[in-house]
Structure 1
Amino acid sequence: MDRNLPLAVLCGLLVGLSIYWFLSPDWFIAMGIAAVYAGAGYFYLAFDIPLLGSAIQFDDRIDRFGYAIGLFGLSVSPIAFAQYYGQQGATTLPFVILFIGVIAFLLFTSKARQQSEHIH
């Protein structure tokens, strides 16, 4: 039996329960974050994707600069949105955790798709 999906669901539940218990008592937020992390966890476990490896590399200096600007925007924008829309910063950390999970999910699914295309 493939253990990747149950392990990914367990990972998502652990993240979701941690969010619910420690950061946000809203079950809807915790459930959404749990689903994102379960999806990202599945693709991380099912495919050989390095967690801290650099998946995207550019040779041109201008491309690397543009990539750096985009990464800076990705790292700063969740905090800015959470502070702007949050209630006195109460939703800042769950929002940042969700945003990081969304990025991980999209990155892992992209790499998994590339790997599955090379297999077939």
Structure 2
Amino acid sequence: MLGDDHPLHCRVRHAMGLAHARLRAFDRQADLLESIRGPQIRVLGRSHPETLETRLDLGLALALSGRGPLGRATKLVDDAARDAETASGVSAALAAKARAAKQVVRLPEPFVSALHALERLVWP
């Protein structure tokens, strides 16, 4: 049995978080990602690509769910994006995701609310 700190356990929970994001269940996604962020930092390190992706996705999930202060989401994304710029082994796709995430967490709240309303109309 794999422990909560095992990288495979974290990968599975991250994938579950992505599934919740596809369902627009950003609160649940944030819960899952928050549960693996600490273990990934301890086991893989802050600048490991999997940890960076979790940190970016957690910041985005918090921003899109409207849960907690937006400043926390922005800080998570900014810190992960800064680490992605200096880390070795970061793919071009992950670096691009980090740059895009920095823009998304800075969208005005009314725009995000309108986006959610549009999504509910298009994908009920």
- How would you bin the TM-score normalised by the shorter chain? 0.3 to 0.5
Larger Rg: 1
- TM-score (norm. length: structure 1): 0.33
